[in-house]
Amino acid sequence: MKIGILGIGSYLPERILTNKEMESIVDTTDEWITSRTGIRERRIAADDEATSDLSYKAALKAIEDAGIDKDEIELVIVATTTPDYSMPSTAAIVQDKIGIRKAAAFDMEAACTGFVYALTTGYSFIKAGIYKKVLVIGADVFSRILDWEDRGTCILFGDGAGAAVLGEVETGGYLGGDLQADGAGAQELIVPSSGSRKPFREEVLTSRDQFVKMNGREIFKFAVRAFPETTAVSLEKAGLKIEDIDLFIPHQANIRIIESIAKRFKQPMEKFYVNLDKYGNTSAATIPIAIDEARNEGKIKKGDRLLLVGFGGGLTYGSCILEWSK
């Protein structure tokens, strides 16, 4: 059985927050942000938009693109760091919004690697014969957990969602993948007060521990190490070489990371899809949004081999290789 993406879709909030506007929020400049990160603007969810809302809109597009009836979906997985609630799962809310109440649903938290983790999990359920069609979503509203006084983090992230319907395909599909984690680096990218370790109390507001904290230097070093490591594993499993990849779709965190990897792989930047200049880092949503945009721009055609690579909090990282089936 060959398993691949039947349909893809994405959704970005309407509000655009430019670097120039960021200058009035924190001590920074447009030139500094652009030169250090490659980001020029990002999308910010409306006050009444939560992760499930973004997920739902992306999911509808993916289902339509797949050309299937929504009731064919048997499992919904939402990869997110910013769920609507700690309980119930955002996936359950999305399942209800779509109206597929008999489908199983659960969330997956692997930070910026979330979509790769969720896609591999969905693939595995289908491969095992448990389900035939799985809806996989990567979505985050990171603007809700940003400290807008911390220029080291608030300039980097944006909000968005991307979704894919997985199922059996005639040709191509999932060729190989790899999931890894390095929990020793958990403190390098963390929201300290977001669970049972440090419950939300008044002192949390003083320490601002309800917001994301990141050691940017360590995360950069981790990313440039993890990217080639997980890529090598996926290539071996797929029986391919780096030259066999038609389009690299990396997690959209920082242009310097992507440029460093391109140089290391001795591959032209033209083979790396980049849209972080428009959206910033949308965490679990970056990869599916990029796939959708690249497809719509005609940069993906049937038979193309795509390498998806994610890295983020956990520390988690992973990759997978797909041969485009549509």
Which H, E and C letters describe the chain, residue by residue? CEEEEEEEEEECCCEEEEHHHHCCCCCCCHHHHHHHHCCCEEEECCCCCCHHHHHHHHHHHHHHHHCCCHHHCCEEEEECCCCCCCCCCHHHHHHHHHCCCCCEEEEECCHHHHHHHHHHHHHHHHHCCCCCCEEEEEEEEHHHHCCCCCHHHHCCECEEEEEEEEEEECCCEEEEEEEEECHHHHHHEECCCCCCCCCCCHHHHHHCCCCCEECHHHHHHHHHHHHHHHHHHHHHHHCCCHHHCCEEEECCCCHHHHHHHHHHHCCCHHHECCCHHHHCECHHHHHHHHHHHHHHCCCCCCCCEEEEEEEECCCEEEEEEEECCC
Query: 238 and 165, same structural domain?
Result: no
Distance of CA 49 to the CA centre of its chain: 18
Query: 181 and 165, same structural domain?
Result: no
Q: Which residues participate in catalysis according to the annotation?
A: 112, 251, 281
Query: Does residue 29 lie within any of the structural domains?
Result: yes
pLDDT at 101 over 90: no
Q: For the chain, what is the domain count?
A: 2
Query: 57 and 6, same structural domain?
Result: yes
- Domain with 307, as residue range(s), is 175-273+285-323
Query: Does residue 280 lie within any of the structural domains?
Result: no
pLDDT at 113 over 90: yes
Tens digit of pLDDT for each residue in 227-278?
A: 999 999 999 999 999 999 999 999 999 999 999 999 999 999 999 999 999 9
pTM of the model: 0.97
Tens digit of pLDDT for each residue in 271-302?
A: 999 999 999 999 999 999 999 999 999 999 99
Query: 147 and 260, same structural domain?
Result: no
Mean pLDDT of 98-108: 96
pLDDT at 326 over 90: no
Query: Does residue 13 lie within any of the structural domains?
Result: yes
Tens digit of pLDDT for each residue in 39-62?
A: 999 999 999 999 999 999 999 999
Query: 213 and 92, same structural domain?
Result: no
pLDDT band at 194 (very low <50, low <70, confident <90, very high): confident
Query: Does residue 278 lie within any of the structural domains?
Result: no
Tens digit of pLDDT for each residue in 297-323?
A: 999 999 999 999 999 999 999 999 999
